[in-house]
Amino acid sequence: MAGVKLEGVAKHFKGAVAVAEFNLDIKDGEFLVLVGPSGCGKSTTLRMVAGLEEPTYGRIMIGNKDVTKLEPKDRDIAMVFQDYALYPHMNVYHNLAFGLKLRKMPKNEIEERVKMAAEILSISHLLERYPRQLSGGQRQRVALGRAIVRNPQVFLMDEPLSNLDAKLRVQMRAELVKLQRRLKTTTIYVTHDQTEAMTMGDRIVVMKDGHIQQVGTPEEIYHEPANLFVADFVGSPSMNFLEGELCTEEGCTWFKAQGIRVNLRNNLNLAELNENKVVLGIRPEDVYLHRPFQDKVCEELLCQTELIEDLGSEKIVFLKIEGQELQARLRDGAAPVTVGGNTPAYLNLNKVHLFRKSTGKKIL
C-alpha cells in the first residue's frame, strides 16, 4: 500500500483554472474526502490522480513513484464511478473478473480473488446474474467489487453513492467505511455532500473555485472552520451569521450591530486587525432559549420567535433580531417555546466564531 502526494498540481482548461495549486500529502491507509459545491474542481483533481487528466503543472506521487506521466493502467489504482460502468452483457462474475483477465492473471487466482471480493461484499449469491437483474445497491457493490479484486494501492471514488436512494445511501456509507477500515487501502473519495464527507473521511479537503479552503479532520472542519465559506458549507442547519462591527469598551472587545451587543470577553487588537466590519458565527446548537447552567458564559439577546420546525428528536427555532436571523436547535426535552412572542436567546460565548467581512477569513 502507499500514500499519495500532490505537489503544486494545477489544471487549466483553455486558460480557465479548474484546479489551482493543490498541495496535499495523503497518508497510507487514509480515507480522504474531497468535498465542495459543483464545479469546485474535485473531480478534476481525482481524475488527475487517476491519470485520466494530465496536470498543467505539478507532480503526483503514489508511494515513492512519480506517476505524473504514467498511463492510468500503470498507476496501480482502481476507480469507482457514479454510474458504476458495469458491462451489461457480462454476468457479475465476469464483470468482476474482466480487469484481471486483461492483466493475464492465471484463472485459479482470478477465481480466488472474485470469490473473496464477493464474500466481503455479500454478493456471492449474485455471481450468475446480469447487471439488469440487480438493484441499485447490488450494482453499486459489484462496482466496488471490481475495484477490490484488483487489490490496488489506491481507491479513487467519484460520488459512488449518488445514484442510490437516501436510505440505501446512508447504509452503503457505513458499509463502505467499514470495508475501507478492513482493507486499509488509501482512498480518495469525491462528494458534494457535506454529511457524507463528515461521516466518512479521516480527513476532509473543502474546495471552492479550484482552491483548497481547508484541510482537516471532521472535528476540526466543524469546530474550527478556517473561513466563512467552510463555516457555512458544513453543518445542517448551517451556522448562524450576524453582521456587525467590533469596538473596544471597558478593556473588552464588543461585537455590535443594530440592537445587538455581544461582549466577546476578549481583548482583540483592533488596530492590528485593520478592519472592524465582521461576521459573527454561532452554530444553532450553541444558541439556547433558556438560561443555561452557570458554567456556560453566555450573552443574552432578546429575539422574536418566527417559526418552529419539529424534527421529532429536536426542534429548530427560527428567531429574528433587528432584521437579522438566528436559528436555535433544541434537543428533545427542552421546555417548549411559542411562535410569535419575544424570547431571550443565549449565545454560548465559548462557541462564537468571528470572521472578517471583507475576506471571510477567521479572526476568532
**Contacts to ligand ATP by CB under 6 A:** 13, 18, 36, 38-44, 192
Q: Given the DSSP bridges, would you call strands 324-331 and 314-321 parallel, antiparallel or unpaired?
A: antiparallel
Q: Of the two residues 42 and 353, which places its CB atom closer to ligand ATP in the complex?
A: 42
Q: Of the two residues 142 and 207, which places its CB atom closer to ligand ATP in the complex?
A: 207
Contact residues for 136 (Cβ-Cβ < 8 A; gap 6+): 163, 164, 165, 168
Nearest to 146 by CA among 174, 125, 121: 121
Q: Of the two residues 60 and 279, which places its CB atom closer to ligand ATP in the complex?
A: 60
Please report how close the Cβ of residue 361 comes to ligand ATP at its closest, in angstroms: 22
Q: Of the two residues 44 and 324, which places its CB atom closer to ligand ATP in the complex?
A: 44
Q: Is the dihedral of CA 319, 335, 287, 297 positive or negative?
A: positive
Please report how close the Cβ of residue 106 comes to ligand ATP at its closest, in angstroms: 38
Q: Of the two residues 82 and 263, which places its CB atom closer to ligand ATP in the complex?
A: 82
Contact residues for 172 (Cβ-Cβ < 8 A; gap 6+): 137, 140, 161, 164
Q: Of the two residues 200 and 280, which places its CB atom closer to ligand ATP in the complex?
A: 200
Please report how close the Cβ of residue 18 comes to ligand ATP at its closest, in angstroms: 3
Nearest to 303 by CA among 260, 346, 342, 259: 342
Please report how close the Cβ of residue 169 comes to ligand ATP at its closest, in angstroms: 16
Q: Of the two residues 43 and 240, which places its CB atom closer to ligand ATP in the complex?
A: 43
Distance, in Å, from the CA atom of 204 to the CA atom of 206, rounded to the nearest integer, reads 6
Residues in the chain: 364
For residue 75, how many other CB atoms are within 10 A of its CB?
22
Please report how close the Cβ of residue 245 comes to ligand ATP at its closest, in angstroms: 35
Please report how close the Cβ of residue 172 comes to ligand ATP at its closest, in angstroms: 19
Please give the span between the terminal C-alpha atoms of the chain, in angstroms, as a whole number: 40
Q: How many Å separate Cα 313 from the centre of its chain?
A: 24
Please report how close the Cβ of residue 40 comes to ligand ATP at its closest, in angstroms: 4
Query: What cell numbers appear for 117 in the block?
Result: 471480493
Q: Of the two residues 80 and 280, which places its CB atom closer to ligand ATP in the complex?
A: 80
Please report how close the Cβ of residue 43 comes to ligand ATP at its closest, in angstroms: 3
